[in-house]
Amino acid sequence: MDALELVAEQVELVSTFRSFDADGDAARQLALRSQGEALAERLVAGWRAGPAPLRPNLWFTYHVYYKAPDWLGPAVSAALGIPYVIAEASLAEKRAAGPWAMGHEAASEAIRRAHLVISPSRDDVAGLEKLVARERIVHLPPFLDAGLYRAAAGQREHHRKKLAQAHGLDMSVPWIFVAAMMRPGDKLASYRALAAALARLADLPWRLVVAGGGPARTEVEAALEESVPGRAAFIGILEGRQLAAVYAACDLYAWPAVNEAYGMSMLEAQAAGIPVVSRATRGVPDVVMDGRTGVLTQSEDLAPALRQLLTDPVRRAALGANAAAFIAAERSLDAAARRMGGLLAAL
């Protein structure tokens, strides 16, 4: 919405209706469909009853997939005769049958009817092409408002001293940072892969700074303590300025990205001027430029790439500087808004 507001006369959030069903509950999905259809009818009736200049010119929906189909956008846009746009959509053909069959079909139909599908990840494009013509799909990589991180990077030494005092960190050694929720599944698998990689770097001086929390925190702490005892500092869940300050205070960011769509935390790290070590999987190569803003590996074992950067502070600093410049020029809110403005104007 921040990006849209830079290029549209008015952006309005017209509903907080949530169609998400996590459990494949058929009764819940039927109820959500019924609620969505009724809400779409009320929205259309309200706009038709009001002055024509107050009706929307375009409908924009974020994130459509089988667990969260769009029951509003296709109906409203068809009734009002306005363009329908989706940002971030995916097709999971294996869900065509089973507990999410209704959501799969509804999401597929919404994607088919979209005048434009904006895809943050190249990984989703092949699936989308089975539903819509390629010219209606545009790859727009993830972006962010970099101001907070850029400001934090300008006070790096202040933030580094403050973090060192708070958590007993040695300022003379490199700090590896990771910020991710701690929950079972892919996140826990990523933490365990990171722990295994770090165990192979025990001969080098470094500390790990971990931001995050969640139901798998005990397992995450156990994995890291077993692999690299005494090396990890857990600083809890942080947001906003606090999180930006920690990015800026650290030296590099590491995350194995097991089944990660693209990884917004890796964008944040680069915006704060630190390089990223991750895997060349799914949408990660759209976020981290291998050899330019960080290092991407073909396997979950990040140890060799981490060793390179831990032992080469000159290259580490160069990649960090490139990362900040890359975000400012190519992944900033302003850059995305300019691109989106042109795409939407064409509709």
How high is the pLDDT of residue 123? 84
| Whole-number Å distance between alpha carbons of 73 and 339 | 22
pLDDT band at residue 314, thresholds of 50, 70 and 90?
very high
Average pLDDT, the chain: 95
How high is the pLDDT of residue 204? 97
| Whole-number Å distance between alpha carbons of 337 and 87 | 13
Domains of the chain, CATH where assigned:
2-143+333-345 (3.40.50.2000), 147-330 (3.40.50.2000)
Q: Do 260 and 187 meet the contact criterion of CB atoms below 8 Å apart?
A: no
Which value, in Å, is the radius of gyration of the alpha carbons in the chain? 22
Phi, psi of 185, deg, nearest 5: 100, -140
How high is the pLDDT of residue 289? 95
How high is the pLDDT of residue 299? 85
**pLDDT tens, residue by residue, 275-309:** 999 999 888 998 999 999 999 999 888 999 999 99
pLDDT higher than 90, residue 259: no
Q: Residue 227: CA atoms inside 13 Å, Cβ hemisphere, count?
A: 21
pLDDT higher than 90, residue 248: yes
Average pLDDT on 121-134 reads: 90
pLDDT band at residue 318, thresholds of 50, 70 and 90?
very high
% of the chain at pLDDT higher than 70? 100
pLDDT band at residue 92, thresholds of 50, 70 and 90?
confident
Q: Do 253 and 276 meet the contact criterion of CB atoms below 8 Å apart?
A: yes
